[in-house]
Structure formats: C-alpha cells, structure tokens
Amino acid sequence: MSHHIVEVQDLSYTYPDGTAAVRGISFRIHHGESVAVVGANGAGKSTLLLHLNGYLTPQSGTVRIGDFPLTKETLRDIRRTVGMVFQDPDDQLFMPTVYDDVAFGPLNLGLPPDEVEQRVQKALVRVGVAHLRERPPYKLSGGEKRAVSIATVLAMSPDILVMDEPSSNLDPRARRTLIELLTGFQHTKIIATHDLDLVLDLCQRTIVIREGQIMADGPTTEIFQNDQMLEQCHLEKPLRMQACPLCSRKSSSMAP
Amino acid sequence: MHMADALLSPAVGGTMWVATAGAIAFCAKKVQQDLDDRKIPLMGVLGAFIFAAQMINFTIPATGSSGHLGGGMILAILLGPHAAFLTIASVLTVQALFFADGGLLALGCNIFNLGVFPCFIAYPLIYKTLAGDRKSPMRIAIGATLAGIIGLQLGALGVVLETVLSGISELPLEAFLWAMLPIHLAIGLVEGLVTTAVISFVWKARPEILEYSATSRPLGNLSITKVLTGLALAAVITGGVLSWFASSFPDGLEWAMAKTSGQEELAAPEKGIHHFLAGIQEKTAFLPDYAFQTNEQEPASQEKTPPSWLTVDTGSTVSGLVGGCLTLMLAIAIGFLFRKRNQIM
Amino acid sequence: MAKIESTFSDLSRLDALAARDSVIARLDPRVKLLTAVVFVLCVVSFDKYVIAAMLPFALFLSLIMGLGGIPANFILKKLVLVSPFALLLGMFNPFLDQQILLYLGPIPISGGWISFLSILLRFCLTVGALLILIATTGFNGVCMAMEKMGMPKIFAVQLLLLYRYIFVLMDEGQQMYRARALRSFQGRGTDMKTFGHLIGGLLLRTLDRGQRIHLAMLCRGFDGTIRTRRAPRLITRDILLFVLSCLILITMRRYDCSLLLGQLLTGFAQ
C-alpha cells in the first residue's frame, strides 16, 4: 500500500548564498513509523523538513508523500496530509485566540462551520487545552503554546506529523506531558530534535545527518551504541544511556 | 506631533476621517490585489516592530536630548506605499486606543498626517527618485533624509491647518506655523538620519530585501495624482457641506433635531416640572441682577466681540456652575461606590 | 522604568481588564463601539466656552465604569499621565483670549480660562471614553466590531496581527534595551549609530519571523483570503440598550443638565 509512505530519493538543495544544505539524501518511511532526525546544528535537518511539506522544492531528486509526488499542483493535498509543527510556537499561533488558530486550517480547507467547530473541539481536547479556547496566544505558557500549536495541525487531520525541536524551551513537566501526548498518536511521526532522550522514548528509528548527508539510518538503540559515529556527528549518547554521574563517581573513588 | 480630540471640531475631524477612510479602503483593495500574500504577515510583524522600536530611545547628537523613531519611511521602503500606509494606520490606531495618543476623532487626522504624506508623497516623489533603482549608501542617505524632512514638514502643516480650522484653540495661524515648522524640521532631519542608519544596516546585511521591495509594484505617476485628487475632492465637498452646516446653524445638533421634529425648538410642556422650574427661575432675584451688572461694566467699544452665536448667558452660568459641581460630585461618588467592588486587579 | 517596559505592562493590564466578566462586557462589541462614537461626537460638538454642560457626560462614564468593573483609579491614573499633553494644547488660550466673560463673585474670568478648562474636560472625557471602551470590550472585540461594520477586512486582519505580535516584539525590544542599558554608561552607547544597528538587527529578525509565519499559514492551507468565524447575532437587549444610551447622550447634549440640576437646587434654596 503506497498511502502514507514518505519517500525521499537523492534529494539535494543548495541555498542562494551557496550553502549546500542537503546533498543527496534518500530514505523511505512507512505508515505509522516514528522516526527521529538528529544531527548537529546546520547539518541540514530543517532544510530536509521544509521539503516534506513543499515549502522548498528539491533542486535535484524527488520527494513523494503518499500518492503524491511533490509538485506545484499537489501542494495543497500534500499540506493537508503533512502537518508541520514549528520550533517557535509564536510563529505558528498568529490568530487572536486559540480557537481562531485551531480553526484556521479547517476553515481554509473549506469545511462548513459545524464541522470546523467539531474538529476544533476534538483537537483541543486531544492535546488537553480545551479550557484555553478563548485565550489569546500571548497569555499562554510555553507548554500550553506547544500543545496548542500541535492542536492547530491536528485539526486538519493529517496522516503524517513533522515536528521541529518539539521539546525545546519546555520545563520538565511540560516536556513529559508532550512525550506522553505524542506516544499516544497513531500518525507517522518525523521528529527533528537534539533531545536524544525524547528520541529514546518516542522513536524506534533514527536517521543521523551530517553535513547534508545521511550517516546512519536504523533502529534507535543500535544507533546510540555507536559512540564513534555519534561523536563524529557532534552528538552524544542520550543522558539516560550515559554513566550515572553519582555511581561513576563512587566507583571511580573505589577503583582499584 | 499628534492631533488631539480636544482641539478638533467635528467638521474638520469628520472631513479628515472621510479622507482617511477612503485612503484605507483604497490601499486595502490594492494590497488584496497584490499577488504577494507574504505581505499580510509581514505587515503585521513590521507594525509590531515599529511599535516596539518607537519605545527605544537614542541620543540626538549635539543636543543630548533623546529621540524616537517614527518609522513611516522604513515601512514605505520595505513594504511599498499601500501596505505601509495600512501598517502605519494600524499602529496609530493601537496607540490611539490604548495610549490616548490623540483620540478617536483625531485618529483620522493623524493617520492622514503621518501616513499619507510619507507614503504617497515623500516616498514616491523623493526617496524613490533619488535612491530608487540605483542604490548606493550615499543615495540611500540623501533620499531617506530628505524624504523624512519633507514628510514630517507636511505632517506638521497638516496639524496646524486642522487645529486652526477647528477654531477651538486660540493660537493664530502664523504663530502656530512659526512654532511647529522649525521644530519639525529638526525632527524630520533626525528621523531621516535614523532611517538612513537602519536602512543602511539592512542593505549591508541583506541587500536582497531592498531589491524585492524596490521592484514590486512601482507607484506610477498617474495613480498618485488620482489618489490625491480623489482625496482632495472628497475633502472639499465634505468640508464645504459640513462648514456651511456649522456656520449657518451654530448648533448643528439642534438644527438636525429641529428638522426632524418639525419645530424650531422642542416646545416646553405647559405644565409639569419644566414650567414649575421656569417659574422659580423668574422669581429668583440675584440672577437677573448679575446679568445686568456685567453688561453695564463692559466698555462700549470692544476690539473683539464674540460672534453672535456665542453669547454666554452669565445668568445661566452660575446655575450651570452649581449644577456642574454637583454633577461632578455625583460622578466621583459613583466612582467611590463601585471602588470597593472593582478594586481587585 | 523605560517606556518600553511600562508600555508592555499597560497593554497587558488593559487587556486583562477586558477579559473580566461584567454587565458591560457581555454587551455586543458593535453596540459599545457605536455608543463610544456617539459619546465622543457629542462631547466634541460643544462650543468652546462650555464646561458645566459637559459634566453629565462624566457621570455617564462613571456609571459605565462602575457597571463594567473598571477600577476608577486605573483610568484616572492614565488620564493624569496623558494630561500634560492637554495642558500643552490649551495653555495659550488664557493669554490669547482675555475678554472677560463672567464674574465669579468679584473675580473676573476671561474667556481664555474658560476655553482652557473646557479643553481639559473635553480631553478627559474623550480619552476616558476610549480607555473604557477598550477595558470593557478588548481590542479583538473592537476590531471584530469594526470589521462587521464595514472596515476593510485586510485592515482588520492587520490590526489583529499587529496586536498579536506587539507582545512578542516588545519582549524582544525589551531584551535589547536591557542589553544595551547594561553596557552603556553616561550617555555613551545610546547614539544613533548604535541604535541603527540594534533596530536593524531587530528588523532583520522580524523579517525572518514574518517569513516563518507566512510558512505556517501556508502549511495550514492559506491561499490569500483570511477566513474568520461568524459574528454572533445582535440581540434585542443590546439594541435597546444602545438606543437608550443614544437618547441619554443626545439629551445631555441638547439640554444643559447641570444647569437644570443647579436651577433645581438654587430654586429650592430660595
């Protein structure tokens, strides 16, 4: 079944100022998979993500989302299928109230007002912010903003969720809430992040990017065992997998 | 400088509102037709930017006093005249609503003075002519500075004319002009220099931004003339009608009421409290005396006689003062009554 | 406190007031906006020597403030803050208009002083009306009302977007201001060139943000038309209240109610 497959073939993109951000990336993600995209700053993660909803068009190579190759005509359908959550929620919440923001997508899809109301309510309840309906966005906390920005995307019923640094700037409780929320989602998830512990919790598969190319693509646990490769890519093991600071101090003081 | 409701007459205020509303509608249509829908979020954030930037001060060289950015020219350069006008109008609206910078009636004047002149005269005729396509630091500097000066001078002229035509402030035209124009020359110069500083920075860091705004939608000569002519006509017609209205019938509202009720003045009922009060009024001794007294003390010849429609009946003024004080006290009392209830903030 | 910091708190406070529930807050925004317009028109249309007849309008405002749950001293404080502006506007009047218009006992009062006081009162009333409008309706409500009453949609959207991002930009501006303040001493560092760099940087970041917002809009299907939800229908209660308010305002304008009240009292005193 070809639906909901994300297929990228030999994708390349160079910015106008000469930066070759993506240099020949290929992968295939199946329906329901939860994939992390990790790498150093400037490795090309964001550029890659921007191709997945058609904001950038590949200079060479192809992108295919479900049944649609990425072309000008299919943009609208692709954007309905792929929901993108940005790094800075303030960029995503631009309407006067939470309700207006979540309703923005469905209204643009041309849905009748009753259905819009239904979708908005459903999305708000799903992320647990139904009580913030009439709140203006600047009165939300970081965690609430993050939840609402996810709701704005959910209201369009996408099949694929793409998220850019979802746990950044969240306090530990908000972060935990986010992880629990995302664990419950059945969508295909593609998450670009530095938060490797989140990757361990959420993503079975990890793609490591370095200087615009894929360094590794495989099961998360395997990838995180490869210390050498991680270091090459300016990464570390997730904190959970590193030696416990308390225990290692004790053991080193008792070392033979 | 901003116009204020307190100095504005309904006639002048209304006229300017008509002109401004027309300009807003025109620009809204233009922006809508613009195929670049990037402008919509850009106008919003740039408006917020101007708002925030106006709060940060800088020291003006040679004077040591602190100055603030106006921003009209920057907006015009980045967004083009139509979108910039809407942005300026929105910033002024927020300032009027939240910070009493002027007032609701004066908003029409302010948007006109601070929006139309920079966007539709200073920017196209001066900045674009000088800096337009062949950009260089020198051209940007001269263009921005001159445009800033001229834009602000015209704005100041607008304020003066609107105030004098309203007739509420006593300042004569000449004195006002002598006060406003030189000050705004200096302010315009500063504005121009700061605009230059900011635009030069942008041009050095990301010249493609300025390229984009330069090539999009040039304002052809024909459209400026059309816009200005249209506005002028609207202003003249409305102003003419309203002024005639105001001069022949000193109390426009009364006239309107008379017309609608079909009588010269709403006749007081024969019986009832009004009659009773009127009777009491006649019987009180000191009020007629006061009026009589004042009249006798006035010199026979006066340099300045109040216009016939502006007679102040001194008799009623005393009662007016008493009643006024009482009303004021009532207002304060109500404030106190509700004070406890509304104290939670 | 720097202007930017006080402005920030002002805006949020005013908007917080608007979020509270009260009799006035529940009224349709269109009604409230129109009433404010009628109010301002009435006040502004008084002749320049009128004082007492305008005072009933203060009573009207006081009543609305009370019913609307707006703390009076908040409004008064704001009025006091902007009053120097009014003083500046009117202060020439007493010098230019020296014609004696009335006597308060033995003290002559010139027309200039009367028109000066009139200007101050006018100022307080019009500014107060606006502040109370925002405090009881909220900016979003006022924009919605204006849009439903014929304001071009693009402009309404512009106002809403502007308001939405004012807080974000003010935040960034504040940080910048503080960063500069911590490193400038005795007037050095606040020159125009530094300002140009600071503001230029803020401008570039703002342009980038505008780009990202546009992207976010596109991702949710934006095609150039902004669609908003339907406005609630105007209910009879609100319409009646509007008519009543207009009647009251026009009556106060037409008849000098202070005078009548005063006459009533002085009549009884006899």
3-state secondary structure of A24: strand
Name the one residue in this structure whose structure tokens are 């943009």. A75
Of C11, C52, C207, the CB nearest to B324: C52
Residue type, C28: D
- CB–CB contacts below 8 A, B to C: 388
| B97·C263 Cβ contact <8 A | no
In three-state secondary structure terms, A42 is coil
Which pLDDT does position B170 carry in this prediction? 64
Q: How far apart are the first and last CA of chain A?
A: 59
Separation CA C50–CA C77 (nearest Å)? 25
Structure tokens at B99: 């910070």
Rounded Cα gap, residues C203 and B313, in angstroms: 59
> B52 contacts in C (CB within 8 Å)?
4, 166, 169-170, 172-173, 202
Greatest C-alpha distance within chain C: 78
Contact C38, C246 (CB under 8 A): yes
The residue of chain A nearest to residue C169, with distances taken between CA atoms, is A90
Q: What is the pLDDT of residue B337?
A: 66
pLDDT tens-digit readout, B243-257: 443 344 334 334 433
> For residue C86, which of B180, B15, B169, B91 has the smallest C-alpha distance?
B169
pLDDT tens per residue across span B121-146 = 888 887 777 776 667 778 888 888 88
Percentage with pLDDT > 90 across chain B: 11
Share of chain B above pLDDT 70, in %: 57
3-state secondary structure of B80: coil
For residue B306, the model assigns a pLDDT of 40
Share of chain A residues as helix, strand and coil, in percent rounded to the nearest 5: 40, 25, 35
B317 contact residues in C (CB cutoff 8 A): 52, 102
For helices C72-90 and B314-342, angle between their N-to-C axes, nearest 10 degrees: 140
Position of tokens 């646990």?
A221
Q: Which residues of A touch C218 (CB under 8 A)?
A: 55, 79
Residues in chain B with CB shorter than 8 Å from the CB of C49 are 310, 312
Alpha helix (H) residue ranges in chain A: 45-52, 75-81, 89-92, 98-108, 113-127, 142-154, 172-183, 196-202, 220-223, 227-232, 245-253
With 80 as the cut, is the pLDDT of residue C202 above it?
A: yes
Locus of tokens 């609307």: C68
Chosen from C147, C220, C223 to mutate, greatest number of chain A CBs within 10 A: C220
DSSP of C36-78: HHHHHHHHHTS-TT--GGGHHHHHHHHHHHHHHT--HHHHHHH
Per-residue confidence (pLDDT) for residue B224, from 0 to 100: 46
**DSSP 8-class letter at B134:** S
Residue C158 has what pLDDT? 92
Say yes or no for a CB contact (<8 Å) between C92 and B171: yes
Determine which of A182-186, A197-201, B222-226 has the lowest per-residue pLDDT on average: B222-226
Q: Tell me the pairing of strands A160-164 and A82-85.
A: parallel
Structure tokens at C262: 């005063």
Cα B264–B267–B269 angle (5° rounding)? Answer: 175
pLDDT above 70 for B81? yes
The CA distance from A27 to C72, in Å, is 65
Kindly list the residues from chain B whose CB atom is less than 8 angstroms away from the CB atom of residue C104.
321
Residues whose CB is less than 8 angstroms from the CB of residue C138 and which lie 6 or more positions away in sequence, other chains included: C15, C18, C19
CA distance B337 to chain C (A): 8
For B40, the token pair is 């919509």
Q: Considering only the beta carbons, identify the residue of C167, C216, C220 that sits closest to A138.
A: C167
Q: What angle do CA B100, B104, B105 make, to 5 degrees?
A: 130
Cα-Cα-Cα-Cα dihedral sign, residues C8, C10, C15, C21? positive
3-state secondary structure of A26: strand
Span B24-45, mean pLDDT? 87
Residue B277 has pLDDT above 70, yes or no: no
Torsion angle of alpha carbons A182, A185, A189, A191, nearest 10°? -10
Cβ-contact B117, B158 below 8 angstroms: yes
User: Which member of A97, A109, A113 has the closest CB to residue C230?
Assistant: A113
pLDDT at C69: 83
pLDDT in the model for residue B307:
40
- At CA C158, angle to CA A84 and CA B33, rounded to 5? 90
Mean pLDDT of all residues in chain A?
88
How far apart, in whole angstroms, are the C-alpha atoms of residue A196 and residue A173? 17
pLDDT band at B232, cuts 50/70/90?
A: low
pLDDT tops 90 at residue B22: yes
pLDDT of residue B314: 44
**Mean pLDDT throughout C237-257?**
86
Q: Spell out a b/e string for B222-261, using b for 16 or more CB atoms within 10 Å of the CB, else e.
A: ebeeebeeebeebbeebbeebeeebeeeebbbeeebeeee
User: Cβ contacts (< 8 Å) between C164 and chain A: which residues?
Assistant: 94-96, 136-138
Residue B280 CB-density burial (10 A; 0-12 exposed, 13-18 middle, 19+ buried)? middle
Put simply, the answer to whether A156 touches C229 (Cβ < 8 Å) is no
* pLDDT recorded at residue B21: 92
In the predicted model, is pLDDT for residue B214 greater than 90?
no
pLDDT for position B341: 59
Radius of gyration, CA atoms only, chain A: 19
Q: What is the mean pLDDT of residues A220-240?
A: 87
Look at residue A3 in the predicted model and tell me its pLDDT: 63
Q: How far apart are CA B202 and CA B77, in angstroms?
A: 11
Chains in touch with B (≥3 Cβ pairs < 8 A): C
Helices B104-111, B137-166: inter-axial angle, 10-degree rounding: 140
Q: What is d(CA C91, CA C120) in angstroms, rounded to the nearest whole number?
A: 10
Digit-coded pLDDT (tens) for A64-102: 988 888 888 888 888 888 999 999 999 999 998 999 999
Token digits of residue B270:
């024969």
- What's the rounded Cα separation, in Å, for the pair A211 and A201? 26
Give φ, ψ of B4 to 5 degrees: -125, 150
Q: How many CB atoms within 10 Å of residue A77?
A: 14
Distances (CA, A) of B290 to B313, B323, C265: 10, 18, 18
Q: What is the pTM of this model?
A: 0.76
Q: Which residue has the tokens 């790498």?
A: A39
Question: CA B233 → CA A71, C184, C265, distances in Å?
Answer: 50, 52, 52
Report the C-alpha gap between C257 and B275 in whole angstroms: 16
Q: A80: which chain C residues are within 8 Å (Cβ-Cβ)?
A: 221
Nearest CA in chain C to A50: C215
Closest chain C residue to B338 measured between Cα atoms? C66
Mean pLDDT of C142-152: 85
Is the pLDDT reported for residue B285 higher than 80? no
What single DSSP character describes residue A131? Answer: G
C234 inside 8 A of chain B by CB: no
CA nearest to C222, candidates B337, A53, A128, A17:
A53
Residue B241 CB partners (closer than 8 Å, separation 6+) = none
Among candidate residues C72, C41, C67, the one with its CA nearest the CA of residue C241:
C67
Model confidence at B264: pLDDT above 70: no
Q: Which residue has the tokens 């509102």?
A: B17
Q: Give the tens place of pLDDT for each residue, C88-119.
A: 767 767 777 777 777 777 787 777 788 888 88
Which residue from C97, A157, C197 is spatially nearest to B196, judged by alpha carbons? C197
From first CA to last CA, the distance across chain B in angstroms is 33
Beta carbons of B40 and C157 less than 8 Å apart: yes
Question: What is the number of residues in chain B?
Answer: 345
Q: Residue B305: is its pLDDT beyond 50?
A: no
